[in-house]
Structure 1
Amino acid sequence: MNGKSFKQILILVALLAVPGFLYYLLQDKGKNRYRPLNIFGPKQVAATFHYKRGKKIADTVYHKISRFELTDLSGNHITFPHDSTHISVFDFYYTRCYSCGVQNRYMESVVSEYADNKRLQFYSVNIDPEYDSPSKLSAYTKDYKYPPGKWIFLTGDEESIYKLARGQFLTDVYRDSKYPDSVIHRHLLILVDTQNRIRGFYDALNKEQIDKLKDEIKVLIAEELRKVTDL
């Protein structure tokens, strides 16, 4: 056997062995090994219990985003959650904010990556509705490419939106007292699961964080699919 043939055999063995090794790493007595995403927000111990491998474990009540209603750019009332099978990504923005343009370009890249995935829904909530009229918002959104209905731009009453951002999405949004034309807020993309729990906050001006979001969406999809197969 010459050296070239020996190398070819080694490569073939490696190609055959790697899938099996990965399968071994991902299995633990028939269960996938993966680290689920964190669940953000206040939580408390419930009075109920569940059992895992014979051990009694107290259930945990996690923060969930409550039902709310805003309007889209056509004036239609949009209620969240509109479908309990959707994973959602949210951000908060306004048109006079330069950094929000960068933020929504990154949002656009995530929308584009998951354009054909029916499990994903995207929302951008306007935080300057007194200035950002529906006509201004319609002109603003024409610069973005996305499938109809996949990425929904929402607006509504300013006070209600600020309470929603702080109380439900756990992110800072408030009018700058020194510069009334400015809204102080955190540039975040927020990942929400099908149970309306926050599973991740991502710096919307940082490409590495956006790449992390794209990867963690895949983890969350796997988590949701596993729940279905475990039923």
Structure 2
Amino acid sequence: MNKTSLIKKILILVVILILPGFLYYLLTVKGENRYHPLPIFGPKPLAGTFHKVKGKEIPDTIFHTLGDFRLYDQHGRTVTPKTFDNKIFVAGFFYTHCPTLCNTINGYIDSLNRNYVKSELAYFVSLSVDPQRDSVKVLDGYSRQFEHPGPKWSFLTGDTATIYPLIRKGFLMNVVDEGKGDFIYPDKLVLVDSHKRIRGYYDISIKDVTRLNDEIKVLMLEEYRSKEKPLY
């Protein structure tokens, strides 16, 4: 082996060893100046307390969270906020006898879910706004049309006394039972972080769902930095 060939092999080895660490450095250190955190939606009252940053007192903020709830997935398992501890999730809203839009909503969730099947951090929720018709058994049958409906993708039901306040006061959107099987319900997807805070609203469109997919990754990076969890 001549000297030139040896030098080339050494250089290649150095690149292989250094490049992953350099990319990690760019993401975790330099990335702080390149990636902007996602906004936090909802009211933000001041807590009346302070914390110090570089000697300066900064008022503490109380961020809006979803609040408590108790629902049931398509397998009859109980789902509460604790189910999503240390996880982020995307929520959509539907009812099984909805003529068109609900299928589009769950179709987009299906495509997103496929991207994160192996992720331990990203989960998905489809919440029925018609729990009187959409029992656990009905949701189980409905979910079977999708390739990976669980355990990372939950179709949820419960009772209107829980679901409607959760949508209105938790997700900060509206839902109305107009009677005869018709509903006014949220036509957006919602991104929620591990603290149960709303981090984004997205229209049911290719453009916004693509943005949602990108912002799931941004939020995963945020969670990774704060908890040192794997990205995927």
Q: TM-score range by the shorter chain?
A: 0.7 to 0.9
Q: Deviations over 1:46-73 (max 9, x none)?
A: 2222223333211111101112111122
The residue that corresponds to 1:217 in the other structure is 216
The separation in 1 between residues aligned to 2:153 and 2:192, in whole angstroms, is: 15
Cα distance, 1:76–1:51 mapped onto 2, change above 3 Å: same
Where in structure 2 are the equivalents of 1:101-116 lying within 5 Å? Answer: 101-116=103-118
Alignment coverage as a number of residue pairs = 204
Where in structure 2 are the equivalents of 1:28-67 lying within 5 Å? Answer: 31-67=32-68
RMSD: 2.2
Where in structure 2 are the equivalents of 1:1-231 lying within 5 Å? Answer: 23=26, 27=30, 31-97=32-98, 98-146=100-148, 148-176=150-178, 179-203=179-203, 205-228=204-227
Give the AA of the match of 1:225.
Answer: Y
Unaligned ranges ≥5, structure 2:
1-21
The separation in 2 between residues aligned to 1:166 and 1:225, in whole angstroms, is: 30
Q: Secondary structure at the match of 1:68?
A: coil
Contact 1:67 1:81 in 2 (8 A): no
Contact 1:115 1:147 in 2 (8 A): no
- The alpha carbon displacement at 1:147 in A equals 5.8
The separation in 1 between residues aligned to 2:168 and 2:72, in whole angstroms, is: 19
The separation in 2 between residues aligned to 1:83 and 1:65, in whole angstroms, is: 12
Q: Secondary structure at the match of 2:118?
A: coil
Query: TM-score if structure 2 supplies the norm length?
Result: 0.80
Contact 2:70 2:162 in 1 (8 A): no
Q: Percent of aligned pairs with the same residue?
A: 39
Q: Deviations over 1:176-229 (max 9, x none)?
A: 1xx5310101211111111110001111x2011101111001111111122235
The separation in 1 between residues aligned to 2:188 and 2:84, in whole angstroms, is: 23
- The alpha carbon displacement at 1:129 in A equals 1.7
Cα distance, 1:181–1:147 mapped onto 2, change above 3 Å: closer
- The alpha carbon displacement at 1:78 in A equals 1.7
Q: Deviations over 1:151-188 (max 9, x none)?
A: 01111112321111111111111111xx5310101211
The separation in 1 between residues aligned to 2:43 and 2:180, in whole angstroms, is: 32
The separation in 2 between residues aligned to 1:84 and 1:77, in whole angstroms, is: 14
The separation in 2 between residues aligned to 1:149 and 1:122, in whole angstroms, is: 9
Cα distance, 1:147–1:71 mapped onto 2, change above 3 Å: closer
Query: TM-score if structure 1 supplies the norm length?
Result: 0.81
> Runs in 1 of length 4+ with deviation above 3 angstroms?
none
The separation in 1 between residues aligned to 2:143 and 2:84, in whole angstroms, is: 24
- Give 1 or 2: higher strand fraction: 1
Q: Deviations over 1:114-138 (max 9, x none)?
A: 1111011211111112222333322
